[in-house]
Amino acid sequence: MQTSSSIAQRFRLDGKIAVVTGASKGIGEAIARGLAEFGAHVVVSSRKQDAVDAVAESIRTDGYEASALACHMGDVEAIHAFVDRVVDERGGIDIVVNNAAANPAFGPVEDTDGDAFDKIFDVNLRGPFELCKRALPSMRARGGGSIVNIASIGGLNPERGIGMYSVSKAALINLTQTFAKEWGPDGVRANAICPGFIQTKFSRVMWENDALLGKLERRLPLGRIGQAEEMAGLAVFLASDAASYCTGGVYLADGGYMLI
């Protein structure tokens, strides 16, 4: 924890190494850019190397620090190799943002087959578990760290049509709190962000339908769906020493959806 009394300084991430998964677009990309803007060296990760190369190059063009390294979050061996390479090349890991997610099943839960179930839980739950567990020794050696898991309002109140995705996010929230409880003595904090309806590829079916979008926006207290960039500030806060007494928290960023 920084000893400076300056609140502004506590938000700075200079010298920190941050890993962001699912960062080739949407919420992950926005968070990667935000962390870099506040001084972190961000390792941009997603499944395709060319996609993360483009994001990292764009961040560097803006004058910030970033590198790119592809990783499939459903492949345990790939995750371990990814973490080991980041630690070897960058000297360690201070911040982990688990944003990568999968949802190959839309519709009633009884229609979710075993393959879809496995993919959802491999990427949405086991992936973050394996990445954080592998990064833990480095965080301990560096005096602590911050884990920010991107969950969902579906993890708090199951959404129709994406039932097993919602279940996986509920499990991710509990995993986050388990990390917080067990790793807090090592100086490792863990928090979860639950986005609401954000205008990303994942939610395209909803926001491209004018009738559905209008119905939702009329009900939302803020009167609109969110943008990926609006998730970045909360992630930067939780990653930084400004949130040094925050762990095990579940933070809504949903435009008031859970109040409906």
Q: Which residues are catalytic?
A: 165
Pairing of strands 41-44, 17-20: parallel
Three-state DSSP class for 199?
Answer: coil
Q: Please, are residues 157 and 106 in contact by the beta-carbon 8 Å criterion?
A: no
Q: Please, are residues 92 and 141 in contact by the beta-carbon 8 Å criterion?
A: yes
- The type of residue at 4 is S
Bridge partners (DSSP) listed for residue 96: 19, 147
Helical H segments across 91-192, by residue range: 114-121, 127-141, 163-183
Please tell me the distance from the alpha carbon of residue 153 to that of residue 186, in angstroms, as a whole number. 29
Rg (CA), the chain: 18
Please tell me the distance from the alpha carbon of residue 151 to that of residue 153, in angstroms, as a whole number. 7
Pairing of strands 250-253, 188-195: parallel
